[in-house]
Structure 1
């Protein structure tokens, strides 16, 4: 009575199959490495093309993302900050700000006293304790 091929493979233990699978994969890796070593120039070119094709999208994504974050921090309108001398008091500074508001070249004028500027600097810089001492 002849055995079917299925019956022959059913008798092989799982450990033997696993060893056979690893041996087959090892042989495939060895053959692939031999092919790479037999044709080094074409292999190097192929590996280079694959490396560029994998790195290029990631690099372009990072570049575009950095450019977007950089351009988002720039204001489209020009901004000028004027610092007045120490001998100019708040009243004179307010009058000067009102004069600048009358000029049509300025869209927004904001006067900030010395005390207001110091308080804003304390809150935004994180040096509140050092400046209060």
Structure 2
């Protein structure tokens, strides 16, 4: 399964559902991340994804261990403005799509090719256009 979805090198981006499934040891997501690493892909999340994926039943040590193997991209003023521009280009509203826009903006500036694991393929396709390969999880 992973071989059809990933390329050599580039970047594998996990949004909330991707990180959540990795935390829960979902076999398809664990396999995709492992295959991405074997192919030399950098595995990246937005700092906001941590907030979105963590909940009271999240085991803190497991989360910390997983995060130690991922590159966590910060979201500062410059990234927030760029995400707002991405939103403006799609007509979507920031109240509902703020974190998705930040993840999309972050994905768009990663080393190409970029593969984004998401549970919201339709919205992420709108936000990323054709520049990022969207894989539904």
TM-score by length of 1: 0.21
Greater fraction of residues in strand: 2
TM-score by length of 2: 0.21
